[in-house]
Copies of this chain bind each other. A is one copy, B any other.
């Protein structure tokens, strides 16, 4: 047997993989996936764009290209944030952005603050770099600034990873006021903020909130920014193309370029050129279509959850994105242990535990409304309601004699 590294021993198969497997069984109504709705993919425009790129620039699209990414694509991303293209690095999905940021920013033992709960893909991306994760308390408005400030008085936090807008897994959004507070606190404690924004465009209700990145730039020169932002085309065009980006101060982007060159030279040229073809018209139209569809599906799910899940079960009420987050009233109920029962009843979700860096809370679960029809949502949530009700009724009464 070939011996593996200590990093390899630290890595384990994650919940994401198992989720992807569950979602492939057709008889299961799955709210488990983090997948966008494939029936909304702009297949024909992408097909036309691929054909145009290969007809007009075939050799360029199929040749090696620069590590930083396709310049017209970087320019478009930069213009949207009123920055320059040298502040943008293209990555193979935001997962690669997180991995490369881990490589460039994390030394073993560094304290990385994460929301409680947080996106488990980020935990997985950072884990090879051996940080210590510390959870920051959140409520329905996201990270609680006072809790963050108090925590940073006690621990030497170096990085804060946050999904402030339509968070995965909770669907929650950090309020505008808290964004300013978060920036003030992290600057004061010299903490770098990694702002992950995959769902930023997917608002179906309420007022736009400015990104932390944009807010930070109002008062700070670009080279002194303490915020690095990740964006992606996975949720607004198609994830299978694997195109995303990191934007941040030049000295961080310069290091990301070096890290990416060592990691895979560059992201596929063809894919970046296809996406560039879609920026002017298809993208805006797609965002409209997706917002409308997800807004409808979210409303149906939130309504079904309110009617079908037992009393005492609570659920977030997102203004955008793909997810809502269910908390069961009894802390003794383990949603991981309940999952096989749910799947036996043809409904799937993601248990909450892997989203907690400390891994302790077991009575929560994540639901995605993105890929299900109205009928599937109603049927699946009713099934889930029965599974939860049965669990709740079969628990020993709290005051029963032992």
Q: Chain A: residues with CB nearer than 8 A to chain B?
A: 1-8, 11-14, 16-17, 20, 34-36, 38-39, 41, 43, 46-47, 50-51, 54-55, 58-67, 91-93, 95-96, 99, 103-107, 110, 121, 124-125, 127-129, 158, 192, 223-226, 228, 234, 238-242, 248-249, 251-252, 255, 257-259, 261-271
B50 touches A62 (CB 8 A): no
Chain A interface, DSSP helix/strand/loop, else mixed: helix
For A93, what are the chain B residues with a Cβ–Cβ distance below 8 Å?
264-265
For A263, what are the chain B residues with a Cβ–Cβ distance below 8 Å?
95-96, 99, 125, 263
A38 touches B66 (CB 8 A): no
Complex partner residue of A66 from B20, B39, B269, CB under 8 angstroms: B20
Question: Can you identify 7 A-B contacts, CB atoms within 8 angstroms?
Answer: A3-B158, A5-B106, A5-B110, A50-B270, A63-B240, A240-B270, A242-B266
Task: Contacts A2-B105, A128-B262 given; indicate if A58 touches B62 (C-beta within 8 A).
Answer: no
- A84 CB, min distance to chain B CBs, angstroms: 18
A43 touches B20 (CB 8 A): no
A258 touches B12 (CB 8 A): yes
For A50, what are the chain B residues with a Cβ–Cβ distance below 8 Å?
47, 50-51, 54, 270
A63 touches B262 (CB 8 A): no
Complex partner residue of A242 from B66, B99, B125, B264, CB under 8 angstroms: B264
| Chain B, Cβ-Cβ closest to A43 | B58
In addition to A38-B62, A242-B268, 14 A-B residue pairs with Cβ atoms within 8 Å of each other are: A4-B251, A11-B255, A20-B66, A39-B59, A47-B51, A64-B239, A92-B264, A92-B267, A95-B263, A95-B265, A103-B128, A124-B262, A128-B259, A241-B268
Task: Contacts A13-B258, A43-B59, A50-B50 given; indicate if A65 touches B105 (C-beta within 8 A).
Answer: no
For A269, what are the chain B residues with a Cβ–Cβ distance below 8 Å?
240
- A162 CB, min distance to chain B CBs, angstroms: 16
A105 touches B62 (CB 8 A): no
A62 touches B239 (CB 8 A): yes
B17 touches A67 (CB 8 A): yes
In Å, the complex CA distance between A12 and B257 comes to: 10
A8 touches B46 (CB 8 A): no
| Chain B, Cβ-Cβ closest to A237 | B62
In Å, the complex CA distance between A41 and B249 comes to: 38
In Å, the complex CA distance between A106 and B2 comes to: 11
Task: Contacts A103-B8, A238-B63 given; indicate if A251 touches B47 (C-beta within 8 A).
Answer: no
For A46, what are the chain B residues with a Cβ–Cβ distance below 8 Å?
54, 58, 62
B129 touches A5 (CB 8 A): yes
Closest 5 pairs between A and B when the two form their complex, measured CB to CB? A43-B58, A62-B238, A240-B269, A47-B54, A38-B59
Task: Contacts A12-B258, A223-B1, A264-B242 given; indicate if A64 touches B20 (C-beta within 8 A).
Answer: yes
For A41, what are the chain B residues with a Cβ–Cβ distance below 8 Å?
58-59, 62-63
| Chain B, Cβ-Cβ closest to A54 | B47
Complex partner residue of A64 from B35, B107, B251, B264, CB under 8 angstroms: B35
Best-buried of A64, A238, A241, A270 by chain B (most CB within 10 Å): A64
